[in-house]
A and B are shown apart, each in its own frame.
Chain A
Amino acid sequence: MVHGEAWTVKELFVYPNEYIYWTIQIVMYPFMTGLVAGAFVLSSLYHVFGVKQLKEIARFSLVFSFALLPVAMMPLLLHLQFPLRGIEVMLTPHFTSAIAAFGIVFTSYGMIVASELWFVYRRYFVETALDLRKATQRGVTQQARYLLYSLLTLGAWDIGEHALEKDERAVKMLAGLGIPVACFLHGYAGFIFGSVKANALWMTPLMPVIFICSAVVSGIALCIITYIATMELRTLRARKRQQRPESGADTEMQSNEIQVVTMTSRYLLMFLVLAITLELLDLIFRGYTAVKSWDILRSVIYGKDFVNIFVIQYGLGNLLPFILLLLPRLTIRRTVAGTLLVLLGVFMMRWNVVIGGQAFSSSFAGFMHYHLPIWPESLETFKEGLAGALLVAATPFVLFWGLCKILPVFPVDESR
Chain B
Amino acid sequence: MSRGAAWLAALAGGDGLVPGGPASVRMRDAPLGDEPARFLAVVPDPEGRFPRARGGEVGLEEGWALARHVRAAIEADAAGPRRALVAVVDVPSQAYGRLEELLGLHLACAAAVDAYASARLAGHPVVALLVGRAMSGGFLAHGYQANRIVALDDAGVQVHAMGKSSAARVTRRTVAEVEALGEKVLPMAYGVRALAQLGLVHRLIEGVSADAPSGHDVARVRREIAAAVADARSGPRDLSPRLASPAARARRAASIEVRRRLAEQWDG
A binds B: no
A contact set with B: CB distance below 8 Å: none
B contact set with A: CB distance below 8 Å: none
